[in-house]
Amino acid sequence: MSEMSAGPAAPHAFVLSPGPHLHVEESTRRIMWWVNGALAPAAIWGVYVFGWNALAGIAASIAGALGAEWLGARMTGRRTTLADGSAFCTGLLLALTLPPRLPAYEAFLGGVFAIALGKMIFGGLGFNLFNPALLGRAFLMASFPLAMTSGWATPRNWFGASLDAVTSATPLAVIKEHGFAAGLAVITSPAGFWNALALGFRPGSIGETSVVLLALGAGALLARRILTLTIPLSVFAGVAIATWHTGVMPIHLMSGGLWLGAFFMATDYVTSPSTVNGQVAFGLLVGLLTGIIRVYGGYPEGICYAILIANAMAPAFDLWFRPRRTAPAGTPS
């Protein structure tokens, strides 16, 4: 026995250490910065189309979000998480939903609210019940309704065209109040109505204008498998169902913040269901509510409040559409 014990110890067959033991390439930090990168083309385009006021709004919103994140971590004694890109993403997403002529200090306050009351108060990243960027936008809409509903700007009408600092209503707002013909007149781009909607030569929020750039950003995230099409396609289906009878359903699918909301906000991992069937129901609810608010409500846009309402329903969808465990034949489940 003494001779046997004198030799080198045999290696353990199993590693006995706390989890997690599953290592994957993607991390929260990588995912967040990929999302930020996917949003960057739409943000840069918004600055080009609307001018320096848009850049000031983006910078102020991001600064407010980063400042609130840092201060919240210091006050609660937690590790500062600025490097993971989540606060930057919240500030950027909020900025892209704002009117180009919104005063920078209001955008800053929106970024602070989004992080402080939308994220940190719940315990930080992964614990929030609602999309923080949309909570920030809802706060701004309640606090500064005039600026949030009249801060629209006339964009450049084509590449290289001059920029006029003139206010203008969005196509959806004009169509809601005065009909389709009046909505056509809002867009003066030589590219024509539909091309202007796709390329982004139209009044709207800073980041919602270019459907093409938002689609390209979403395509990059799809290629990385950071998001799937389940929720976005369900959102589009819900909007189509709710606006089919209006005769301008294609315009609803191409206008407003629908593409930004469907691909970059409704798909938030934390505030959306985890099961496929739950995601379908979640997306349909977002789309239906968006269409109902646009057609029957007093507000021409509805994606913000539709997603927030659906966020509250996400736990219920996970409960209603729980995956069933199947057992091999002949064995009890």
Once rounded to an integer, what is the mean pLDDT over residues 25-35?
A: 85
**First-residue to last-residue Cα distance in the chain:** 48
Q: Are residues 239 and 112 in the same domain?
A: no
Is 180 part of any domain?
no
Asked if residue 293 has pLDDT above 90, the reply is yes
Is 59 part of any domain?
yes
Is 315 part of any domain?
yes
Asked if residue 284 has pLDDT above 80, the reply is yes
**Residue of higher predicted confidence among 52 and 25:** 52
Is 310 part of any domain?
yes
Q: Are residues 109 and 132 in the same domain?
A: yes
Is 192 part of any domain?
no
Instruction: Select from 191, 224, 257 the last residue of a domain.
Output: 224
Amino acid symbol at 252: H
Output the pTM of the full model: 0.86
Q: How many domains does the chain have?
A: 2
Q: Are residues 262 and 216 in the same domain?
A: no
Cα(143)–Cα(138) distance, rounded to whole angstroms? 9
Is 4 part of any domain?
no
In this structure, of 14-28, 97-111, 112-126, the range with the lowest mean pLDDT score is: 14-28
Is 12 part of any domain?
no
**pLDDT of 183:** 76
Q: Are residues 257 and 212 in the same domain?
A: no
Q: Are residues 138 and 81 in the same domain?
A: yes
At 297, list the tokens. Answer: 């409500």
Cα(226)–Cα(35) distance, rounded to whole angstroms? 9
Q: Give residue-wise pLDDT tens across range 151-172.
A: 888 888 778 777 776 777 788 8
Q: Structural domain of residue 254, as residue ranges?
A: 227-320
**pLDDT of 10:** 52
Q: Give residue-wise pLDDT tens across range 105-135.
A: 999 999 999 999 998 888 877 888 999 999 9
